[in-house]
Structure 1
Amino acid sequence: MTKQNEEKPLYIKVHNSDNVAIVVNEGGLSAGTVFSDGLTLIEHVPQGHKVALVDIPNGKEFVRYGEIVGYAIGDVKQGSWVHEGVTSMPKAPELHELPIATKVPAPLPPLEGYTFEGYRNEDGSVGTRNLLGITMSVNCVSGVVEYVTKIIERDLLPKYPNVDGVVPLTHLYGCGVAIDAPAAVVPIRSIHNLAKNPNFGGEVMVVGLGCEKLQPERLLKGTPDTIPIKLLEEDDVVILQDENHRGFKSMVDHILRVAERHLERLNKRKRETVPVSELVVGMQCGGSDAFSGVTSNPSVGFASDLLVRCGATVMFSEVTEVRDGIHLLTPRAANQEVGQALIREMKWYDDYLGSGKVDRSANTTPGNKKGGLNNIVEKAMGSIAKSGTSAIVEVLSPGQRPTKRGLIFAATPASDFVCGTQQVASGITVQVFTSGRGTPYGLAMVPVIKMASRNTIADRWFDLMDISAGDIALGKKTIDDVGWELFHMILDVASGKKIPWSDHWGLHNPLSVFNPAPIT
């Protein structure tokens, strides 16, 4: 027998009313295993998967987190494995029946005295990095921009040691699209606001082709709900089709000249001590497993509450991973307007998925299921734990910037890369990303702190995951312990005192701007 199998068998039951629990032990537990309360397994149950705590008759509810996460297909005996094959999925909550602002949480006591070292911008925002961002009006120029980026990194950045790097804001939009379609507001707003992320210090330069539908002037103007970008110099827009360009080298030299002007200004910036209220932190999960909702995500939720108590801005997202828990969120809306905005974003996404002949059940991945999540309902219950317990003060449509501080729902798809891109457009300067299955995910624009839901993945991916919540499952740490650990790590990473593994290795995923509008 392995050492792990010799250890005491453990399961986690989240709520008193739960009739299922998840197995903690690595490798799972075999038939005949007896828990300390006398529960006996009648079949093998893998790690993270559910065991029936009582007999559950055909058609009756499986309850986890105190919520119905499925219905039994056939009679399920006590001690048996509750897997996808014996589970039917509940319907999503009806949007027109939701309570709104009925249980608005009272403000938690302010948390004072915490600071970080950030870069203050002229518009009042504060960055955690000092980066040059190169915006593109169309995908056609991405090859050129990426080519020039390598030259900047090799030849220019050594001359400007206070600049952390250069980031090409590549995307697949700009031409061959229905530029005036109503849904085109999403990608246009997102690309516009990406350029304004606080980590770019207000230094905006644009490279365009010249014949694209999304002309640089329109990109800079943005959408009705954005503030137009005012360039410092007219030459900050480089058009490759400009008749003054003769050959490829001419284009490259032009971009380099503009980039160097911005680098000179960025290099003069210094970190200064600022209150934590200036942070904008995005919370996201990917490669989730059954432990995510009981270890890592609740720890993130605890840290979210700490940040909100400091006056910071915290965003949680992923519409399909909120949809089945929306009845738990609308009561926490600060007022009727916020609650209705939550419902609006759920309805918009329901219709968006419906147009593709699918629904939110398409979200759950093979990895999620292998990790013990039978369906999107169970996944959503664990996902919303990232939001903590604070009141929701604002709801953002994809790519919008916040107007308030506190806990915010920023509507995005659940795709890791799309969600990350849209949160950057909404102005996050640090991101926390939890995972139960493991991921090398990272962003070039903002530092990403990756938290493992279980020690197995944290130990195996020791140089990819930054922090583990796995000791919670073993009873060695509490959610509060790990939440405080994460809070302090966020401040250290925001200050540049700690470098997340994704930045250490340079693992940065390409941007993936959400485009629900037609492509022509």
Structure 2
Amino acid sequence: MNHQVPRTIRMQASDNVAIVVNDGGLPAGTAFPDGLVLLEGVPQGHKVALTDLQDGEAVIRYGVTIGYADGAIPRGSWVSERVLRMPAARSLDDLPIGTHAVDAGPRLDGYTFEGYRNKDGSVGTRNMMAITSTVQCVSGVIDYAVKRIREELLPRYPNVEDVVALEHVYGCGVAIDAPGADIPIRTIRNLSRNPNFGDSVMVVSLGCEKLPPARLFPAGAIPIGNAAPSVVTLQDQQHVGFMSMIDALMSTAEQHLQELNARRRETCPASDLVVGMQCGGSDAFSGVTANPALGFATDLIVRAGGTVMFSEVTEVRDGIDQLTARASSPEVAQAMVREMQWYDDYLVRGGVDRSANTTPGNKKGGLSNIVEKAMGSIVKSGSTAITGVLSPGDRLQQKGLIYAATPASDFICGTLQMAAGMNVHIFTTGRGTPYGLAAVPVIKVATRTELARRWHDLMDLDAGSIASGDATIEDVGWELFRMILDVASGRKTWAERWKLHNALALFNPAPVT
């Protein structure tokens, strides 16, 4: 594309604003073929008024009111968060239910990947050993042991890709029986059961914490025959000195490595994919390029019989009517409303509302408020019926398009989707972030070509070609779908190559004592 030719993108015919496409934005005085002239400079991704807007008039993008003019806004003006008043949140009453529950369409057969099949029926995309902790006190000991395991044991077990410490800051100093305390407990439990860990559960306990192994893994918590976790408790009398603890960890780890080393990749249908989708460092192009491409890929995965999770409560809250309209049943719609109401109440208790979500980077990238951000976020979910809802920390029990209720925090959302059982993670970004997970491959999708070029060895896919007109949403959606299959089969993402791993972050709404 000729970057000297001024371009804007208008999402729907009813929109009275459009975003500037050109790298670096456009200066005041820029004239468009339709007669629009910019009255002031407008940065890339930011909105320009297409008509004269009166004080209090609705500002419309995506066919939705994203705000109200805070004073008169002449045609050609820059429409930023400074000149908008945010709408009130949509009521959770009288919502449409199932009015747009679109069938996925013809079954998409014949697509496969090379994965690791587990005894519980799940399929891993990586073959790793996990060490679960019951309390943060043991983290330093685990870290020391992990270094030794990687150096001394892993070379003897070439089919095991890595050993991962599932560290966290829970387990002691918490109100363990308070309302909400069950969320981090079941999250830790289900993290240990992620498909990439191959039914192998090793636990390190201190011995005096509020979350002992028996509470973390009660009878039946690992429903694989008579499977039980291997537990090393550091306060046990047989541990005399630090090296005694490390020796016990090394010995127990080797038993797990022997089991995991016997695993082999085998051809699995695309229906075994469990893909978690989220966005971070979002900008105004997120809802124009990357997230619509993810939505197209979502529809393909669902058509292939697979599972897709979309999340981030505050980043879909303003589109709740769109979600309940796509619910496959009244029960699914009610479950979505329940999660939204729970989160509304949670924010009220904290003395904030959903407007606290939007970051300075989001605004610099052209997103004026959470309403506009939500409209661009929700399109990751594609177009098909939503068939299930997960509460935070829950594990998947069904296939299809699932709403997994999580905070919008990149790290907490990724942790909860991992606990739910995802085996591939897709992450879109417009501002750029080196986010990654140690245990699940993360495919990074850039919303803008400029970012993809600048971060050429961090971004896995460039969706900016949609904005330039060089590719369609369908083109990039298919490219992403094929990339997901390749990555599920072992292809390394940039985050994996560089070993860029963010720490897991538990969601704990309960008090800390």
TM-score, normalising length from structure 2?
Answer: 0.98
Q: Does 1:245 align with 2:226?
A: no
Q: Is the 8 A contact 1:220 1:229 kept in 2?
A: no
Q: Does 1:414 align with 2:408?
A: yes
Match of 2:500 among 480, 499, 507: 507
Alignment of 1:215-234 (within 5 A): 215-221=212-218, 232=227
Please name the residue that 2:303 is paired with.
309
Amino acid at match of 1:511: L
CA distance in 2, matches of 1:22, 1:193: 42
Amino acid at match of 1:348: W
CA distance in 2, matches of 1:107, 1:49: 34
Please name the residue that 2:66 is paired with.
69
Q: Does 1:343 align with 2:340?
A: no
Q: Is the 8 A contact 1:311 1:406 kept in 2?
A: yes
Q: Is the 8 A contact 1:192 1:222 kept in 2?
A: no
CA distance in 2, matches of 1:274, 1:229: 21
Please name the residue that 1:121 is paired with.
118
Please name the residue that 2:103 is paired with.
106
Q: Is the 8 A contact 2:20 2:26 kept in 1?
A: yes
Aligned-pair CA distance for 1:429? 0.4
Alignment of 1:26-41 (within 5 A): 26-41=23-38
SS at match of 1:95: coil
Please name the residue that 2:362 is paired with.
368
Match of 1:148 among 142, 145, 149: 145
Alignment of 1:321-470 (within 5 A): 321-470=315-464
Shift >2 Å, 4+ stretches = 226-234
Aligned-pair CA distance for 1:404? 1.5
Please name the residue that 2:472 is paired with.
478
SS at match of 2:427: strand
Aligned-pair CA distance for 1:230? 7.2
Q: Is the 8 A contact 1:220 1:230 kept in 2?
A: no
SS at match of 1:482: helix
Please name the residue that 2:201 is paired with.
204
Aligned-pair CA distance for 1:247? 0.2
Aligned-pair CA distance for 1:358? 0.1
CA distance in 2, matches of 1:371, 1:233: 49
Q: Deviations over 1:213-252 (max 9, x none)?
A: 00101101289xx666777467x10000000100000000
Q: Is the 8 A contact 1:188 1:222 kept in 2?
A: no
Q: Deviations over 1:28-47 (max 9, x none)?
A: 00111111222111110000
Please name the residue that 2:511 is paired with.
518
Please name the residue that 1:278 is paired with.
272
Identity rate, percent? 64
Alignment of 1:81-100 (within 5 A): 81-100=78-97
Amino acid at match of 1:12: I
Q: Does 1:163 align with 2:160?
A: yes
CA distance in 1, matches of 2:164, 2:67: 45
CA distance in 1, matches of 2:415, 2:202: 19
CA distance in 2, matches of 1:125, 1:191: 18
CA distance in 2, matches of 1:156, 1:516: 39
Q: Is the 8 A contact 2:313 2:405 kept in 1?
A: yes
SS at match of 1:391: coil
Q: Is the 8 A contact 1:136 1:207 kept in 2?
A: yes
Please name the residue that 2:10 is paired with.
13
Q: Does 1:296 align with 2:290?
A: yes
Q: Is the 8 A contact 2:104 2:302 kept in 1?
A: no
CA distance in 1, matches of 2:128, 2:225: 19
Please name the residue that 2:40 is paired with.
43
Please name the residue that 2:51 is paired with.
54
Q: Is the 8 A contact 1:394 1:402 kept in 2?
A: no
Q: Which runs of 5 or more residues in structure 1 are unaligned?
A: none
Q: Is the 8 A contact 1:4 1:26 kept in 2?
A: no
Aligned-pair CA distance for 1:182? 2.1
Q: Is the 8 A contact 2:425 2:441 kept in 1?
A: yes
Match of 2:19 among 22, 26, 33: 22
CA distance in 2, matches of 1:508, 1:306: 28
SS at match of 1:314: strand
Q: 1:202 to 1:260 in 2, by over 3 A?
A: same
Q: Is the 8 A contact 2:436 2:442 kept in 1?
A: yes
CA distance in 2, matches of 1:293, 1:476: 17
Amino acid at match of 2:150: E
Aligned-pair CA distance for 1:101? 1.4
Amino acid at match of 2:73: V
Q: Is the 8 A contact 1:297 1:386 kept in 2?
A: yes
SS at match of 2:483: helix
CA distance in 2, matches of 1:229, 1:507: 32
Q: Which runs of 5 or more residues in structure 2 are unaligned?
A: none
Amino acid at match of 1:175: C
Q: CA RMSD in A?
A: 1.3
Q: Is the 8 A contact 1:141 1:207 kept in 2?
A: yes
CA distance in 2, matches of 1:369, 1:135: 38
Q: Deviations over 1:349-377 (max 9, x none)?
A: 00111101001100000000000000000
Aligned-pair CA distance for 1:4? 6.9
CA distance in 2, matches of 1:199, 1:68: 42
TM-score, normalising length from structure 1?
Answer: 0.97
Pairs aligned (count): 513
Q: Deviations over 1:130-182 (max 9, x none)?
A: 00000111111011111101111111111110001000000110011111112
